[in-house]
Every structure is written in C-alpha cells, then in structure tokens.
Amino acid sequence: MPIISRRTCARFGAGLIAAVLLTACGASTAGITTSKKSSTKQQPLVQAKFGSTATTQSLGGATAVYFAQQLKKDSNGRIEVTVYPNSELGGTPTINAGLQAGTIQFTANDILDAYVPAIDVLNTAYLFPSNPVAVSVLNSSAVYKLLWNKLPAEGLRVLAVWPSGFSDIFATVPIDSPSALRGIKIRTFVPAVETTEYSRVGANATAVVYDQVFTALSSHLIQAVTDPPDLVTPLQWETAAPYVSIVNMAFVTTPLLVSQSFWNSLDSIQRAEVSKAAAASLKYETAQAITYNDNSITALESESGVHVLHPNVTPFGAAFRRAYPSIEAKFPGVLQELEKLVVAAKKAK
C-alpha cells in the first residue's frame, strides 16, 4: 500500500500512454512492458512525495493513491511514494515550485500556464466532444510535441494526462441558457481563454484561487464557478452555489507530473517503472472518470436545496465557439491544430 500522510488518515477513509510519449520521457517501449526486477533488487530504496490539492474522496485523489500503489508494485518495493492530499504540502503554485526545486517529486494539476501559456487552450469550452476523444488527443505524441515537451525546461515533465471530466456550471442563480450568464461574475482560473469566452456571453470573468472559491461564492463576490461535479462535491461548493447546470463545457485536464531533476536522478530501469505506473494510472482514471462524475451528479440530485438543471447544450456550444477566433489569435496555430486532432480522433473512434 502507498503511504498517505498521517494527518489525513483520520479524515479520509483508454489504454496506455502513447509509446512515443514514453520514449520522449527516456523509457523504451520494451522497458515499459517488461520491468527488469532482478536488476531493480540491486538498487537502493527511493522515497518520493506526491503533493496534491485533491481530496482522497475525489477521482484525482484516488488515482494518486493508485499510482503510488502501482509504482511500489512495479519497482518491487524499491520506489515508495507518500501521497499528501488536500493541499498538505501547499497550494498548486507551491507544489509546482517544489517539483522544480526537487523537494517534491510528483503531482497532478493543470495550472501550468505560468510555464507554457498555450496550455490554457486545452481548457477551451466545447473543444472535446467526449471523454475517449479527449483522452486520446491529450495523451498523443502530437500534443506532446505541441505543448508538453516545453515543460522539462521549466523543471516539470508530463507522464500522463488524467481525465478529470467535463466542467459544469455551479451558480447562485439558475443558468438554463447562455443569456442567463449575462452580468454574472464567474470564477476563472485560465483567464487567457475564459475571459474571452465569458465576454462573448456577457459574463464577467473574476480570478479566484482554488481555496477561496467557497468564500467568494458565499459572500457573492462571484455568482458562478465551473468544474467537474466530482471535484466540486467533496468541497461542498454546491451549498453556496445550489443551481447546477449540466452543460459539459471545458474538458478539465490533470497532467501527472514528475520533477525533472528527480527524473534525471533515476536510471533507465527506474524511469521505465515510473512510466509503467503512470500508464496504469491513466487507464485507471479513464475507466473511472465518467462513473465518478455520474455518481456526483446523482448525489447532487438527491441533496436537499440543490437544483440540478439539464438545459439544451447546443446553444451553449454555439455561444462559446464564437470566442474561438480570438483564442486562436492569442495562441496562433494551437487551437486549429487541436481541432484537427479532435477530428482525427473522432474518426478513429
């Protein structure tokens, strides 16, 4: 079993990654499928920290634990990961800085635009039509070359891209059409994309950090927030924003990251074992993503005082796509390339 930090123990009871992505990470395809455990037994124990802002009740938190389990298994117990959930090691900027410094070895988050601004384009509303298409595109060699391979220079390396699922709207008032967003202050965490999108429907994008969202909703600093239901329900944001509109907007990506300096310290066998565990974690989260979010919606529907709405999604898609030319202008070539990859992935499915 992986280690979960003592402070949280009392509180919390697709397929493999593309071979070319793994090869880019320094592990051969053969090394991924057959780990040389006899050689691993000669290696010293490696201990690592996994910093996360997710609770263990969420899919991301559960997958972090699964990754730690798999890595311990694949390394024959020679690589042991301690999972620190619920921001125990700090918020996302602090955790990412820890990876860059090498004091934290693993994390999973999508706040990476400070290093590669174009990554924000992945959060474009209605870019991905389904979970399988999103997972295929995000973990493709093409997206690795387009975006992910720019992160090692910043001290971070992508091992896999977990699918958190589609974001829905949680609001203090009913949102049953794009026009209902007019004048609403809505939280943004990727301003370069969302500010443009929200302006197209007359909403006002307001930046609020993750751990202040509940307070901002309760005090009416903002009236709405978007996120997958699985990420919201453990935090109980719906108690402050009880109108939930299931509109499947942006597909929330959660890259599994390893510290580049830590990666550099590993030998080829250890890298292969880390990559193998990452591929297994992607398969696990992909299989669980829809179930977790469906269960969260069911729980919301049964929660007293919460109103789950199922508006027509087509007008939302049409309204938000009007922002595509402006997004493409900010990041030339990126959105167009992603759209081509989505079309190809849809045909392949």
pLDDT per residue as tens digits for the range 153-173: 999 999 999 999 999 999 999
- Summarize the confidence of residues 339-345 as an average pLDDT: 97
> Do 144 and 178 fall within a single domain?
no
**Mean pLDDT for all residues in the chain:** 89
Domain that holds residue 20: 3-164+251-294
In the block, tokens 């007019």 appear at: 182
Query: Does a structural domain hold residue 271?
Result: yes
Query: Does a structural domain hold residue 62?
Result: yes
Closest CA to 152 of 193, 94, 112: 112
Amino acid 322: pLDDT: 97
pLDDT per residue as tens digits for the range 86-96: 999 999 999 99
Residue count (the chain): 349
Query: Does a structural domain hold residue 302?
Result: no
Query: Does a structural domain hold residue 307?
Result: no
> Do 265 and 121 fall within a single domain?
yes
> Do 264 and 287 fall within a single domain?
yes
Q: pTM for the full model?
A: 0.84
> Do 201 and 75 fall within a single domain?
no
SS3 48: strand
Query: Does a structural domain hold residue 305?
Result: no
> Do 153 and 10 fall within a single domain?
yes
Query: Does a structural domain hold residue 131?
Result: yes
pLDDT per residue as tens digits for the range 196-220: 999 999 999 999 988 899 999 999 9
Please give the Cα distance from 55 to 84 (Å, whole number).
9
> Do 240 and 282 fall within a single domain?
no
pLDDT per residue as tens digits for the range 208-256: 988 899 999 999 999 999 999 998 998 899 999 999 999 999 999 899 9
Query: Does a structural domain hold residue 310?
Result: no
DSSP-assigned states of every residue in 207-229: E--GGGHHHHHHTTS-SEEEE-H
> Do 74 and 150 fall within a single domain?
yes
> Do 158 and 287 fall within a single domain?
yes
> Do 56 and 201 fall within a single domain?
no
What total number of domains does the chain contain? Answer: 2
Query: Does a structural domain hold residue 299?
Result: no
> Do 53 and 184 fall within a single domain?
no
Please give the Cα distance from 63 to 121 (Å, whole number).
25
> Do 63 and 128 fall within a single domain?
yes
Amino acid 238: pLDDT: 97
Report the CATH number that the domain containing residue 180 is assigned in CATH.
3.40.190.170
Please give the Cα distance from 17 to 279 (Å, whole number).
5
> Do 278 and 243 fall within a single domain?
no
Which residues neighbour 244 within 8 Å (Cβ) at sequence distance 6 or greater?
168, 169, 170, 171, 229, 238, 297, 300, 306, 307, 308, 309
